Structure 1
Amino acid sequence: MGEEAPAVDYTTAVEKHVEIADQVIKGGINIEEGLKEMLDVIPLGCKDTPILEKNAEAILSVLASVKEVKESYVSTLSIEQQSWLMMYVYKGLGASENKEATFVPPAQIMFKWFNTIYKVGGDGCVMRAVSRRKAL
């Protein structure tokens, strides 16, 4: 019999993501480093909708703050992180339809991110993003 994995404190992780997002937007951390850190711990399985929305807002605000989306922003991420990022892009594109969404990023920026992630991650990235059963 194995030991159970320790429970993840999503509240603390999401607060850290909010701080990182603020630093990225203000220029204190570069976007590649910020995205890597924010996509390391995803609150997957968290049942607390406000925590999920706060995390999505942090990530989407970083994406929305970028004027020119560069492939290097995505290519430095792991395949799994690219898939998570694509899931957040889909979430951002659907935010205007989500009554619980706390942030609605511009669709034009989300489509730029989609195209860049697709160039780097290919069809597999899209398939992993749309086939995940748990919501972000």
Structure 2
Amino acid sequence: MSNFLLNIDPKKFELPSKQVKIKRLGEDAVFTLKGLDNPRIEEIREMATNKDGELNIAEFQAETILSAVIEPNLRNGEYLKHFGVATPYDLVDKLFLPGERQYIYGTIQDLSGFADDAIEEVKN
């Protein structure tokens, strides 16, 4: 019986974070992203799935960004007012160009364990 699980530091289960700068928005436009855990990803998937079981990809990506950008808080009403938007989803659309949004979403996916190098196949 292998006991490798007992050798794993429980601190490894803390979700990783990373800072990214959106150059177009200015030198101080740094966003802190944090990986999401399974329950939160499932919540987001349920929220973005319609009654026919179809996933709205744009809504899934926007909610993922809103959940994982921990600084600044994109749900802050002051930001919504400042940018003249009604919802945090609108703020995501206003702030980020499509490529920037995709980059942020991809980075969040990587931080959440979806990176190509997150798992290695063992060859016997």
Q: TM-score, normalised by structure 1?
A: 0.27
Higher strand share: 2
Q: TM-score, normalised by structure 2?
A: 0.29
Higher helix share: 1
